[in-house]
Every structure is written in structure tokens, then in C-alpha cells.
Structure 1
Amino acid sequence: MNRIFLALALLLTAGFAVAYWRMGGFKAATVALETTAKPYYLAGRYYEGPAQDEAFGDLTREAYNLRKAGKLRGDFGNIFYNSPESSRDSARVFVGVLVADTTSQQLPAGYRYRLFPAGQRVLHAHIDASYLVAPDKLYTGVKKAAEAQKLTLQNVYLEHFPEQGEPEVLAVVK
């Protein structure tokens, strides 16, 4: 009986390891210091409160559903206004959809635009991985690159999760 449980445990562990590998969980983010060449426009809503609060999840689902229904065209994205470590307790984030411009589509009720301006120095991290494992890998990459290059982060982060392509984070540096 113990051999059966051991074999089952090994099989499950191998299965999880393969799934994690296929999602890109063993990859590291590529990070480079850049200056943003273009502005990024987000259509969405602002949230401030506990990251685990249902209201934060509701805003995320709402943005996803509006995009899926075609009421907003673009990719899912967020602008965090505090560090990822502290956002676990209290998040300050603009949740929404990255759009091409502010004139080509009408905003849903309650939605506003936010701008992530061009000309900012950022650490640009991207990874060929699933959006399920990407955020942790991206923020870890940004933090390590900032330490290695002796850069100070301003705790403003643009997250971009495209339908096709690599998830990315742009972290503003001083």
C-alpha cells in the first residue's frame, strides 16, 4: 500500500513539474533599462484597498468581461502605484484594458482613462510564460535588476498581459 502511495505521489509531482515547466515557470524574466518611447493608455477603474478583497477581483473580472464582449478593444493591464510586496496588504491600482488611444472607442459607464507617459526611465521586464506564473517572475526580475544596477524604483508599475505575446512589466526608476 505504501508503494502505491509513493508511486502516486511521484507521478503527481512529475505531473505538476511538467505543467509548471510548460507554463514557463522555470524561465527567468528578461529585464532591460529603457526609456518609454510612447505613452500607454489604460481604460479602467481605480481601486484602493486590500489586494485579497472581492472588490479588486470584481474589477479585474469586469475588465476581462468588457474586453471579451468587445466593449473595450485592447489587452488586459494595470498600473500599480505601490510596490508589489506592500500591495499584498493594501493595493493602489488602476485596473483595466490597455487601449491604442483615447478617441477610437467609447468608454463603458464608470470607466476613465489613465496615462502611463512616454519619456520615463523604466526597467522593462518580459517573459515567455503563462500569465499565471509571469507576475512573480517579472517582479523578481525587476527587483534583482534594480539591485544589480543600483537603481531606485519609484513604485509605479505598468503590467501588460497581451492576448498574444509575452507578459511584461514596466517599472519606473528614479
Structure 2
Amino acid sequence: MKKFFYVMAGVAILILVLYTYLGGFTAPDVTVVELETKYVAGVPFEGSVEDEALGRAFQRAAKVVEQKELEGVLGSVYYNNPDTSGDSLRAFIGVIVPDPNVTLPEGYELRTVQGGKKVVHVEANANIALLPGKLYEAAFDYADTENLKLEDFYVEWFPEEDIGVLEVPIKQ
């Protein structure tokens, strides 16, 4: 029985060390800023978060950036929250580009996210596997603490490896 306890304690310590290494305990920075206009080149997606087409859209965007078909960073726009809409996701997956006058890869379209609104802006430093959870949790916690109502509209992007940003407009 003691041996089992020591093994389980060792596994727990290993998990804690790994979680710490991946950035699990780093606190996101949360502020309220004015949304800047953003241009997103990508593909629309509507369906289940489990749909393989969603994974393919993310993989295609990563390939577009890696092969320098577009200058920019991986980014997405989400038009709903799948946690509150029964696993159904409406999104636009692609690359945030600095200039709307770009030549788009085949199958890509350009969408504009108009600036000017106040948004909850969250930045976090962690492994990509942990970033979405950290970003959204921080935004929702901040909105609850500050008694803010958020729109069901989310813009996220990843400007560098292990850094993620999320902006959610505040309902006026």
C-alpha cells in the first residue's frame, strides 16, 4: 500500500511540474481597451467542435503562415460560445493580416473586424494546449468581477509561440 502511495505521489508531482512548465500557473493580463480594426483571411466554419473540418481549417491556416503564403499570425473569429450553444460552433479560422490588400490563398476570403468598441483584452503566456482555456476563463472571470456583459463575439490570435490574445466586445 505504501508503494502505491509513493507511486501516486510521484505521478502527481510529475503532473504538477509539467503543468508549471507549460505555463499553467501563469496569470493572464486582462485590460479593457478599444478594439482596433483587424483583417482576417481564412475560411468560415459551422458545425461541431468535434468536426474534423475544424481541425483541417486550423492546420491549413498554420500551413499558410509557415509557407509564407500570407504575412500575419494565426487568428480566428468566433461568433458564438460552443459551451452555451450545445457544441455548435460558428467561426472564421485563418490568419490575421496587417493589410487588407493581400493576395489570398485559394479558398480563402477576407473579413474585417471593425474597431472602435470597448473590449476585454486578455493576454497569456502558456503552451498552445492551455492557452484557449486560460484566455476565455480570464475574460469571463473579469467580466463577472467588473459586472460587464460580453457579446458572443470573440477574436483570438497567437502573435508568438506560447502567447495568446483574446478580445471580447463589451455590450454597450
TM over 0.5: yes
Q: Distance in 2 between matches of 1:118 and 1:14?
A: 45
Q: Check conservation: 1:84, 1:139, Cα contact below 8 A.
A: no
Question: Which residue in the other structure is 2:147 paired with?
Answer: 150
Aligned residue for 1:85, secondary structure, equals coil
Q: Check conservation: 1:128, 1:167, Cα contact below 8 A.
A: yes
State the Cα distance separating 1:86 from its structure 2 match: 2.9
Determine whether 1:29 maps to 2:65.
Answer: no
Question: Which residue in the other structure is 2:131 paired with?
Answer: 134
State the Cα distance separating 1:87 from its structure 2 match: 5.9
- Letter of the structure 1 residue corresponding to residue 23 of structure 2: G
Q: Check conservation: 2:153, 2:169, Cα contact below 8 A.
A: yes
- Letter of the structure 2 residue corresponding to residue 66 of structure 1: V
Determine whether 1:13 maps to 2:12.
Answer: yes
Q: Check conservation: 2:127, 2:162, Cα contact below 8 A.
A: no
**Alignment CA distance shift 1:113-1:136 (3 Å):** same
Aligned residue for 2:153, secondary structure, equals strand
Q: How many aligned positions are there?
A: 171
Which is further off, 83-92 or 68-77? 83-92
Aligned residue for 1:27, secondary structure, equals coil
Q: Check conservation: 1:124, 1:168, Cα contact below 8 A.
A: yes
Question: Which residue in the other structure is 2:39 paired with?
Answer: 41
Aligned residue for 2:12, secondary structure, equals helix
- Letter of the structure 1 residue corresponding to residue 142 of structure 2: A
Which is further off, 8-17 or 153-162? 8-17
Q: Which blocks of at least 5 consecutive residues in structure 2 are unaligned?
A: none
- Which of residues 94, 103, 126 in structure 2 aligns to 1:96? 94
Q: Check conservation: 1:78, 1:97, Cα contact below 8 A.
A: yes
Query: Any residues of structure 2 matched to 1:68-79 within 5 Å, and which?
Result: 68-79=66-77
- Which of residues 151, 163, 166 in structure 1 aligns to 2:163? 166
Q: CA RMSD in A?
A: 1.7
Q: Distance in 1 between matches of 2:23 and 2:86?
A: 23
Q: Distance in 2 between matches of 1:162 and 1:5?
A: 44
- Which of residues 62, 65, 78 in structure 1 aligns to 2:63? 65
Q: Distance in 2 between matches of 1:46 and 1:128?
A: 27
State the Cα distance separating 1:166 from its structure 2 match: 2.8
- Letter of the structure 2 residue corresponding to residue 141 of structure 1: A
Q: TM-score, normalised by structure 2?
A: 0.91
Q: Distance in 2 between matches of 1:137 and 1:17?
A: 17
Query: Any residues of structure 2 matched to 1:106-125 within 5 Å, and which?
Result: 106-125=103-122
Deviations 1:9-42 (CA, angstroms, capped at 9, x unpaired): 3222212211111111112322111112x31111
- Letter of the structure 2 residue corresponding to residue 101 of structure 1: D
Aligned residue for 1:162, secondary structure, equals strand
State the Cα distance separating 1:8 from its structure 2 match: 3.2
Q: Distance in 1 between matches of 2:152 and 2:70?
A: 27
- Letter of the structure 2 residue corresponding to residue 136 of structure 1: G
